[in-house]
Structure 1
Amino acid sequence: MSTDTSDWIREPLHADYGQGLKVEEVFYDSKTEHQRLRVFRNNTFGRILTLDDVVQTTEGDNFIYHEMLTHVPILAHGAAKRVLIIGGGDGGMAREVLKHQSVEHVTMVEIDAGVVEFSKEHLPTLSQGAFDDPRLNLVINDGALFMKETTDRFDVIIVDSTDPIGPGEVLFTDTFYGHAKRALTPGGILVTQNGVPFMQGDELTNTMRAFQALFADATCYMATIPTYAGGPMAFGWGTDSDARHVTLETLQTRFQAAKLTPDYYTPEVHQGAFALPGYVLKLMP
């Protein structure tokens, strides 16, 4: 059942700045144990998922976010077989990881079963059948608790968290990152969603401080996602390997072998994403 409306929403994430989005049609609006979930249609971005009125993903531009958090670490690694996704209940991250036929097993840990179920129903274009892939093991659990207790090891860990408020807050702590480091295989790579540094500089600084204490190579890379207000988004990067410096020729070879057809990622974009603007460099500890 859908409800027509001409309302607008304003994101409450930042106290004195926020984007407005026109709500053309509401498909889902319900408060779960953890958060308020809404799916509505916007003429520019298609269906949009919000949690507590903060945009999480859209049909229109999700490909940028999901491609950059998956293809960058997987192709940089070059031999990733086991991947862990923390969060990602809409299925978009799993969709992109599973495009790599070389990946044998994906564990996805989502705290809120409600997000998964309504995404299947109301945002099926995001997962595109990923939840039915036999390589995917969906675990409904707190990501921080899972990371603390798991004895499994992963070649790539992707933290697709909400912002560090509410349920997502524990995924931005030194303790969580330490447990993630322990869960990596030798040469494994940890990547994280670290917000828009122009608006959320402390978030990046704190993560980088923790990464620098844990990893031989700790930095971030960037991409611009139109519905994440305030400029380019930063993705944390931590590894003890030299994977960040893989040559363009090697990336191109791996990219061609993977037979990917992304809409944003290219090997050239991959390399360029690590070139940071001055204001971001100043946020690095």
Structure 2
Amino acid sequence: MTDKTWMREALHGHYAQSFTVDELLYDSETDHQRLRVFQNGTFGRMLTLDDVVQTTEGDNFIYHEMLTHVPILAHGAAKRVCIVGGGDGGMAREVLKHAGVEQVTMVEIDAGVVEFSKQYLPMLSQGAFEDERLDLVIADGAEFMKVTQGGYDVIIVDSTDPIGPGEVLFTDTFYGHAKRALAPGGVLVTQNGVPFLQGEELTNTMRAFQALFADATCYMATVPTYAGGPMAFGWGTDGAARSVTVKDLTERFASTGIACDYYTPEVHKAAFALPGYVLKLMP
């Protein structure tokens, strides 16, 4: 134990987790944040920003599948999708598996994340950056949402935690601009942390969503490296996408030909069944 190098993540005030750094592959500071990629015996390659785990080779599929296939399949006819963040390319990878999606705008604040992800985490993007349907925009997501013409069927906010550059993506103003950028019946989904440890984050987002959308809630999935219990994903729409049946989801999913390791139509529906402690966090 003592001869190993450990990375300690202390995101939460009274709770921390650690990972062995079996091989350090990249360590550099950009204008916005410190990026590191290292090899871990359980999770494979891991990406951290300021010593907070962002994604891993081993379990990223859970997070990316649930933030893409849930809104896209619930919508049923999504053609234009906007991803805010997601510089590692994993979210774009899953969105672009949908042949019916004609155009994807990906807005990432840090070009350095994209470039080193192409080099050090190519297994996450799997060629997504070369897809002609992808329009990569290097810009502040909040500023982009303020000025975009919109018309998006699905907007996915793949943000870091609400500290540093990611903080503005958790504000009422940003959510208001995002709603304006949705096409009629469009769906907004957001990364909202682990409610057991970050309850206030979910409460604040849900308060904003309830003021903006006819249907505002969250759904959940368990991602091992985001420790502390299941993650919450914010859900907002003025349409009826959440009422889609398992039967319809099954038909839509089968028609895509997409193979998933976590998402299923049954998991999709069950993810909206919230435990009591999460319901208490809802305004």
Tell me the TM-score normalized by structure 1.
0.98
The structure 2 residue matched to 1:230, chosen from 228, 233, 237, is 228
Decide which of 173, 177, 186 is 1:188's aligned counterpart.
186
Q: Choose the corresponding residue for 2:68, options 63, 67, 70.
A: 70
Other-structure match for 2:48: 50
Partner amino acid, structure 1, of 2:220 = M
The 2-side partners of 1:225 and 1:149 are apart by: 33
Confirm whether residue 108 of structure 1 aligns to residue 106 of structure 2: yes
SS of the equivalent of 2:15 reads coil
**Which among 123, 136, 139 is matched to residue 138 of structure 1?**
136
Q: In the alignment, which of 193, 210, 213 is matched to residue 211 of structure 2?
A: 213
SS of structure 2 residue aligned to 1:85: strand
Instruction: Give the secondary-structure state (helix, strand or coil) at the position aligned to 1:11.
Output: strand
Matches for 1:1-285 after TM superposition, within 5 Å? 6-285=4-283
Deviations 1:114-173 (A, max 9, x none): 000000000000000000000000000000000001113100000000000000000000
Instruction: Tell whether the 8 Å contact from 2:153 to 2:185 is kept in structure 1 after alignment.
Output: yes
Identity %: 79
Report deviation, 1:16.
1.0
**Aligned-partner SS, 1:134:** coil
Cα displacement (A) at 1:15: 1.2
Number of aligned residue pairs: give it: 281
8 Å CA contact 2:150–2:180 kept in 1: the answer is no
**Which letter maps to 2:52?**
V
Look up the SS of the partner of 2:144 in the other structure. Answer: helix
**One-letter amino acid of the counterpart of residue 239, structure 2:** S
Q: What's the secondary structure of 1:19's corresponding residue?
A: strand
Measure, in 2, the Cα distance between the counterparts of 1:183 and 1:99.
23
Structure 1 position 111, deviation (Å) = 0.1
Structure 2, unpaired ranges of 5+ = none
Deviation at 1:12, TM superposition (A): 2.0
Amino acid at match of 2:110: D
**Deviation at 1:6?**
3.0
State the alpha-carbon separation in 2 of the partners of residues 189 and 226 from structure 1: 26
Q: Measure how far apart 1:221 and its partner are.
A: 0.1
Q: For the Cα contact (< 8 Å) 2:150–2:183, is it kept in 1?
A: no
Q: Distance in 2 between the 1:159 and 1:31 partners?
A: 24
For 1:192 and 1:87, the matched residues in 2 are separated by 11
In structure 2, how many angstroms separate the alpha carbons of the residues matched to 1:37 and 1:12? Answer: 16
Cα separation, 2, equivalents of 1:102 and 1:204: 31
Structure 2 Cα separation of the partners of residues 166 and 267 of structure 1? 36
1:10 is displaced (CA, Å) by 1.1
Instruction: Tell me the amino acid that sits aligned with residue 131 of structure 2.
Output: D
Which amino acid is the alignment partner of residue 102 of structure 1? G
Please, what is the CA RMSD of the aligned residues? 0.7
**Which segments of structure 1 move beyond 6 Å, counting only runs of 4 or more?**
none
Q: Give the letter aligned to residue 184 of structure 1.
A: L
**Mind listing any 5+ residue stretches in structure 1 that lack a counterpart?**
none
**3-state SS in 2 of match to 1:12:** strand
- One-letter code of the match for 1:185? A
SS at match of 1:48: strand
Q: CA deviation at 1:28?
A: 0.2
Work out the CA distance in 1 between the residues paired with 2:74 and 2:17: 34
